[in-house]
Structure 1
Amino acid sequence: MTRGTPAATPAEAKAGSGGGPGGVRLLRPLAYAVLPAEVVLAVLLVGGFRIPAAVWAGVELLVGALLLAEVLAYLRLRRRGLSRREVLAALVPAPVLRIVGHELRIMACLGRWAARRPHGVEGVDGVFPHARDQAALMYGFAFVCVVETVGLSYLLADWPAVHAVVLVLDVYTVLFVLGLHAAAATRPHTLTGEVLRLRQAAHVDVSVPLGLIASVRHDPVFSHERAEGELNLAVGSQTSLTVELAGPIDVPRFFGPPRPVRLIRFHADDARALHRALAPAVTRARTAPSPSPDPLPRA
């Protein structure tokens, strides 16, 4: 493979086998061309521009044909034996899937927050929240967004179409800001007998094997510079615990491939309690006897 040529994912490889050059692979370029044109026309229509009927009908026809082709491709790939997740990975670009998945997790966290049902805390040894120190900032940001929503509603009252679009966007922005805080509140750090699970909102979820931790210390830090091999999970611009690893672990990124890290800084509402629980757990994990091998069978 030449340098700079992205490797095909397993789902794309399965989708491409036997599908022909003009099949599934042609749908993404068509979507990149047709869907932005649909958005541009919608913005022009809301802005009061007169769009020729032939142009509007042509774009709508292309969008309908694209959706029909996507449905047919989905059914064909499912008949070929791909799972739903593999079909989505073949038809939809990975960045789009990540963005949509993140938005869905944010909205789900709002429901969990209202129901007081934290995520991923069943059967763990310790639960350590980390959202307290950002609450005032997030509530203040949400209040500013509400004020903006009310102000724009009065300013755009004479333009009903524009007012409706902006109102939807503003309400979603308020829900998104509250959802970011809800994600932090409902997805705490957890500790089990073998793994320290570190999370930040709905976009970071890292499992650190306790046996790989070389040292852990209570280390308040209020400024963080980007450095190779480091992961900073700041809350309210601060971290309170630092974990150094004996070897690198791969940490997923929102866009792009995972990156290896050997030092993780993160925050907890009760950092000292997490430090007290983590230090002996790391010691037990590192000194635990390895499982004895099976006895050799007798001749």
Structure 2
Amino acid sequence: MRIARALVRHELRLFASLLLWVTRRTHGTRDGRPFGHARGQGAMMGGLAFVCVVETAGMAVLLRGWPVVHAVVLVLDVYTVLLVVGVHAACVTRPHLLDSTHLRVRDGAHVDLRIPLADIAAVRRELRTTHEPAEGELNLAVGAQTDVTLELATPVAHFTFLGRERRVRLVRLHADDPDELARALTRARTAPSPSPGRPG
């Protein structure tokens, strides 16, 4: 039951992302600076969607003599195409977000992690194309690539797709402009705290 609920929530987010994409809006970016991370996968996702469309057309020809089976397969094929496009739409419309206190790291509709700037010990511009799973590490690769590494002074709680909590002390992520993200993070972490107001 928990798995079914997680799948339903995820698919609803994908379809909501499709709507945002069509209307050229983004999710939750009103109060911070967005950093996109979907550019590197656009061609791959477009190719996958094209293959799904071709497969849909091919199955329509093969099953034209069985109208009931054809209708069922057509619905499943169209749904699959929408899901594939929705995955990409979720990445486009849910960028990383930097504000004065947090970096919100996202990966499509299934990862949304808020990292307090005060907990970031180091920011490295680091290109990696291989990522071995390791305890305490979160790798958010796009096209098998990450290019910014965050070391955390204090582990933060990350919840997996099925809701299991993991304590994360190192985060690797991809950004369309990793140099600018690294610079912006460095500036935000070293910015002086606002001075308190005058006593009343």
Is 1:96 the equivalent of 2:4?
A: yes
Structure 2, gaps ≥5 residues long: none
**CA distance in structure 1 between the partners assigned to 2:195 and 2:102 by the alignment:** 17
Is 1:133 the equivalent of 2:40?
A: yes
**CA distance in structure 2 between the partners assigned to 1:276 and 1:230 by the alignment:** 22
Query: Normalising by structure 1, what TM-score?
Result: 0.64
> Higher relative CO (CA 8 A, sep ≥ 6), structure 1 or 2?
2
**CA distance in structure 2 between the partners assigned to 1:129 and 1:162 by the alignment:** 41
**CA distance in structure 2 between the partners assigned to 1:290 and 1:213 by the alignment:** 22
Q: CA deviation at 1:289?
A: 8.3
User: Secondary structure of the equivalent of 1:218?
Assistant: strand
Q: Which residue of 1 aligns with 2:14?
A: 106
**CA distance in structure 1 between the partners assigned to 2:164 and 2:31 by the alignment:** 31
Q: Which residue of 2 aligns with 1:281?
A: 188
Q: Write out per-residue CA displacement over residues 118-156 of structure 1, whole angstroms, 9 at most, x where no aligned residue.
A: 1111021x2100100000000000000000000000001
User: Secondary structure of the equivalent of 1:180?
Assistant: helix
Q: Write out per-residue CA displacement over residues 152-177 of structure 1, whole angstroms, 9 at most, x where no aligned residue.
A: 00001111111111100000000100
Q: CA deviation at 1:247?
A: 1.3
Per residue, is there more strand in 1 or in 2? 2
Q: CA deviation at 1:256?
A: 4.3
Q: CA deviation at 1:95?
A: 2.2
Change (3 A) 1:250 1:290: farther
Per residue, is there more helix in 1 or in 2? 1
Q: Report the AA paired with residue 131 of structure 2.
A: H
Percent identity (aligned):
56
RMSD: 1.7
Q: Which residue of 1 aligns with 2:49?
A: 142
Matches within 5 A, 1:216-231: 216-231=123-138
Q: CA deviation at 1:290?
A: 10
**CA distance in structure 1 between the partners assigned to 2:161 and 2:96 by the alignment:** 19
Q: 1:153 aligns with which of 51, 54, 60?
A: 60
**CA distance in structure 1 between the partners assigned to 2:31 and 2:106 by the alignment:** 17
Q: Report the AA paired with residue 190 of structure 1.
A: L
**CA distance in structure 2 between the partners assigned to 1:263 and 1:290 by the alignment:** 31
Is 1:270 the equivalent of 2:177?
A: yes
Q: Report the AA paired with residue 13 of structure 2.
A: R
Q: 1:208 aligns with which of 87, 111, 115?
A: 115
Change (3 A) 1:141 1:226: same
**CA distance in structure 2 between the partners assigned to 1:214 and 1:288 by the alignment:** 17
Structure 1, gaps ≥5 residues long: 1-92, 292-299
Query: Normalising by structure 2, what TM-score?
Result: 0.95
Q: Report the AA paired with residue 56 of structure 2.
A: T
User: Secondary structure of the equivalent of 2:29?
Assistant: coil
Q: CA deviation at 1:96?
A: 2.0
Q: CA deviation at 1:251?
A: 0.2
Q: Write out per-residue CA displacement over residues 17-62 of structure 1, whole angstroms, 9 at most, x where no aligned residue.
A: xxxxxxxxxxxxxxxxxxxxxxxxxxxxxxxxxxxxxxxxxxxxxx
Runs of 4+ residues deviating >3 angstroms: 287-291
Bigger radius of gyration among the two: 1
Q: Which residue of 1 aligns with 2:144?
A: 237
Q: Which residue of 1 aligns with 2:88?
A: 181
